[in-house]
Amino acid sequence: MTLKNCVKKLICGVVLVVMATCVAGLFSGSIVLADQNDRNKEWREKLEKAAEDDFSEFIVQQEKELDNTSNQIEQELKILKSSYIGATGVMIRPAPGPITSPYSKTKVHPVFGAVRPHNGTDIGAPHGHEICAVDNGIVIYADWRDNYGWTTILDHGNGLTTLYAHQSKLVVNIGDEVVKGDVIGYVGSTGYSTGPHLHFEVRRDGELRDPYHYIPY
């Protein structure tokens, strides 16, 4: 084999490997997206079916399940061993838009009038709007969560975590390091949600904090 032929073969080989990698990347991207859509469809069907049967019973059940999920998250974050030290300590807003429902320990339920807490701050950003990391951190959760829908949790170190729920699409993975302002997902209405908005939570050692004290309102 001449040197020229050898170089030609080598270049062809490299091109093929690069092309294969690109195609694999494309497919894995579409598989993730298909899975996100399927999970959401499944959940919507479950909600619609339950709502047809007995709406008030259904709401009570959902609220209970939401509390259970929130408590689970608290327990998981309590045992988190974080060594992250890259946060700036000054948070930005995760999305623009009005605060449609603030964090509250004594919120009056719109349907039943009963007092029940709201674990986060709701920001009325439109469907598909970018959601940004409020500070530098590490992605410690990026997956479906019942009631919360597509959810991301960032660890900012020092026991501080932020949570972004009801997303239409996640674009980060567990272990990714994010910089303040990076896009981590898109606004949606997945999980137990009445319309597109971002439900944003701040937790310290797993326990809920009022985002009002952390992000600009």
Q: Which of residues 89-108 bind Zn ion (CB under 5 A)?
A: none
Locus of tokens 């909600």: 47
Angle between helices 3-53 and 55-78 (to 10 degrees): 130
- By the 8 A CB rule, do 95 and 132 touch? yes
Query: Which of these, 104, 101, 106, 108, lies nearest to 122 by C-alpha position?
Result: 101
User: Which residue's Cβ has the minimum distance to Zn ion?
Assistant: 199
Binding part of the chain for Zn ion, among 69-77, 126-134, 148-156, 194-202 by CB under 5 A, reads 194-202
Binding part of the chain for Zn ion, among 6-14, 26-34, 112-120, 176-184 by CB under 5 A, reads 112-120
Which residue, 120 or 149, is less far from Zn ion as judged by CB? 120
Q: Is 201 in the site for Zn ion (CB under 5 A)?
A: no
Contacting Zn ion (CB under 5 A), which of 199, 201, 203, 215? 199
- By the 8 A CB rule, do 167 and 129 touch? no
Q: Is 122 in the site for Zn ion (CB under 5 A)?
A: yes
C-alpha neighbours within 13 Å on the C-beta side of residue 45? 6
Instruction: Kindly state the smallest distance separating residue 105's Cβ from Zn ion, in Å.
Output: 14
By CB under 5 A, name the binding residues for Zn ion.
Answer: 120, 122, 199
